[in-house]
Structure 1
Amino acid sequence: MADPKVDALRETLQKYESGELRSDLFEGNSEVSPSAEKPGGGGSAASPSGDEYTKARATVLRKLTGSPKSRHQLTQALLEKEFSQEVITSVLDRMEEVLLIDDAEFARTWVRTRHEMKGLGSAALRRELQEKGIAKETIETALDQLTVEDEDAAARELIENKLRGVTIPVGNGEEDRKEREKITRRLVGMLGRRGHNPGAAFQLVREAMEVRSA
């Protein structure tokens, strides 16, 4: 599904690169982006710091047209291209001012989409957001949108998908019991890797197994 914000940003970048858009749109009052880089500004060419600012800004815009990014991800991308810390801070601060970078919105969207599309639980979502450099408080606020019922429903769907086409032995013999235990362990392990609480995962798996064995 297309993201309207990404589509709008892509259109903005195309206009910016074609010269249809003012070059100072994303600059603010940064001291690192001198007037020399603007049409009509003083001087015949951009200073090295101004040129670096312009290149860093273009890099960020391109990164953002692919998919939303956290500030940490963009910082790392700019560091890899060896931009100065001064320029990185200036560019990203300006992007935050115009809401092209919004870690809170990024975290909320990440939690919602990864939970709905992958069935991930809180632990996995928290780990992923930590890896993207999102602040602890921002992560916990984003996770607040998930309820216990939401996580249980996602876990049940994962269980049902895994059990589809699986024959669960119902006998009382040793072999049947071991096979049921093996299936249970696999399902609980799968839910654990998806970030679901181990205790809740075991209970939900046991319920699903009992229903299918009835």
Structure 2
Amino acid sequence: MTNGSRDAWRDERPAPAWLGDVAAGVEAWTQGAAPSTGEPDRERSSGKRSRSGGSSSARGGRRASPPPDDPARLGPEADPESVARTILLDQLTGRARSRRELADKLASREVPDDVAARLLDRFEEVGLVDDAAFTRLWVSARGAGTSRGLARRALASELRRKGVADEVVRDALEEVEDDDEHATATALVERRLRSLQRVDDATAARRLVGMLARKGYPAGLCHRVVREVLAEARRDVPDDL
């Protein structure tokens, strides 16, 4: 074929589908695929024999392996400190958390210990992590005077499970007065008693004491409050209460 004939043949070939689209062209080449010309691949469609005399299916049906990933295309690995910072900010969106909670979350995401400690220290310096403030908020949201109405003992147990130091817990719970707990226990029993109108007095008393005990109130306070509320509601107070 002369040069003129070859040039004419090139001019007659249809343009590839990705012509003019750099991204599509790069993708086509990096995926190891020949640019589409709009025509079927004659070699594949005709089952063209290999030089050894057999088709690709005749050689065990093995397909060509895809090209290996291009490291440049995959991009650099994420910086552990940036990952840790994002995790912390996500965790602190919506509510405060204890340092132990945040450390456990970073560990579950396989953030290196030294990176986690450094970021947590930095967050403490700027006030985003503060176990004392977290503890006060926890007590005010779940303790005396709230719908949950947890007693100091139950609050202390929850906070210790979250990794808050004992002295921090004690400081926060010192602000809760005995009268506050008595008033909260009374309100809880009065509210619960309204749903026990069809229950006999002994069963009602047992259920009310059990409810307060589960919320962390000491046995003496549980019995005293239930006796007071039952008497006020003109219901019989069991002898063993």
Following superposition, the deviation at residue 181 of structure 1 comes to 2.2
Matches within 5 A, 1:4-153: 51-115=79-143, 116-153=146-183
Matches within 5 A, 1:201-212: 201-212=222-233
Aligned residues: 158
> What's the CA shift string for 1:73-130, capped at 9, x where partnerless?
0000000000111001000000000000000000011001101231111111011101
Q: Which has the larger radius of gyration?
A: 2
| 8 Å contact from structure 1 (residues 168, 212) kept in 2 | no
| 8 Å contact from structure 2 (residues 196, 204) kept in 1 | no
Give the counterpart of 1:180 among 187, 192, 201.
201
> What's the CA shift string for 1:46-72, capped at 9, x where partnerless?
x97x91111101110111013110000
Give the counterpart of 1:164 among 180, 194, 200.
194
Specify the code of the residue in structure 2 equivalent to 1:107: T
Aligned partners of 2:90 and 2:230: how far apart in 1?
A: 49
Aligned partners of 1:84 and 1:165: how far apart in 2?
A: 52
The CA RMSD measured in Å over matched residues stands at 1.8
Following superposition, the deviation at residue 155 of structure 1 comes to 0.4
> What's the CA shift string for 1:130-172, capped at 9, x where partnerless?
1111000000111111100110111011001101153388xxx
Which structure is higher in RCO with an 8 Å CA cutoff and minimum separation 6? Answer: 1
* Equivalent residue number for residue 215 of structure 2: 194
Please give the TM-score of this superposition, normalised by the length of structure 2: 0.62
> What's the CA shift string for 1:29-50, capped at 9, x where partnerless?
xxxxxxxxxxxxxxxxxx97x9
Please give the TM-score of this superposition, normalised by the length of structure 1: 0.70
Following superposition, the deviation at residue 183 of structure 1 comes to 1.3
Q: Flag structure 1 segments of 5+ consecutive residues without an equivalent.
A: 1-46, 170-178
Structure (1 or 2) with the greater helix fraction = 1
* Equivalent residue number for residue 155 of structure 1: 185
Identity of aligned residues (%): 39
Aligned partners of 2:147 and 2:135: how far apart in 1?
A: 15
Aligned partners of 1:65 and 1:140: how far apart in 2?
A: 27
